[in-house]
A = this chain, B = another copy of it.
Amino acid sequence: MKELTERQKQILDFIRHKQDFDKLTPTLREIASHFRFSSPNAALAHVQALRVKGFLKNSPGRARSLQLVNLRQGGRPLAPQIVSVPIYGAIPAGRPMDAEQEEEGCVLIDVDTLGIKPTTRTFGLKVHGDSMIGKSIIDGDIVIIEHGVQPRSGDVVAALIDGQVTLKTFVLQQGKPYLRAENPRYPKLIPQEELQIQGVMVALVRRRK
């Protein structure tokens, strides 16, 4: 990690302060105005430098999309981090973050328990049926799914089959990926062809009935 110049530190502090205080990432023009630059390009140059040096992230073209990159090495945030995870009863098709007609509420849980990075796309899936009884996952359980993670053999994954999301165990058999239901009443092995894996199970929450 490269060192920052004095000016770049000031810019970074200003962004941090604005995010804490206003809960709103400043625009380049707001940065410029604060530092009495007369051109947004001056702010842009600094932001770009901070990006190159790894202190900032952003989504190109997006308004107010600057994000601080947490560089804490070994250090843990003092306050435990809570994230709200939306729960879906079913995901009809497409990417998991679309088509939220079935949204059923929200679980709030700490990042430590989930064991995920807070930037990850994560959602909860309400389990219907007993196809995963062999993994001790039962009807009504809420399975926390992390999207965009490469599953390892034996992981429980949410997979899209016939426009319906179901839970299956991901297995590698002689290097080939298969999906397995954990119930003798279901087909044992499904070749993972044309099947879209929505995510990997990272946690499970069960409420009393």
Contacts and interface: CB of A to CB of B under 8 A. Distances in A.
Interface of A: 9-10, 13-14, 16-17, 20-25, 27, 33-36, 59, 62-65, 67, 80, 82-86, 97-101, 103, 105-110, 112-115, 118-122, 133, 136-138, 155, 200-208
Oligomeric state, in number of copies?
2
A203 B206 contact: yes
Nearest 4 Cβ contacts at the A-B interface: A63-B63, A108-B110, A204-B206, A136-B136
A58 to B, nearest CB: 10
Nearest to A12: B106
B136 A10 contact: no
A143 to B, nearest CB: 9
A62 B207 contact: no
A36 B84 contact: no
Contacts of A97: 34
Interface SS of chain A: mixed
A115 B16 contact: no
B107 A67 contact: no
Nearest to A59: B24
A99 B204 contact: no
Given A80-B106, A118-B21, A136-B138, A99 B36 contact: yes
B100 A63 contact: no
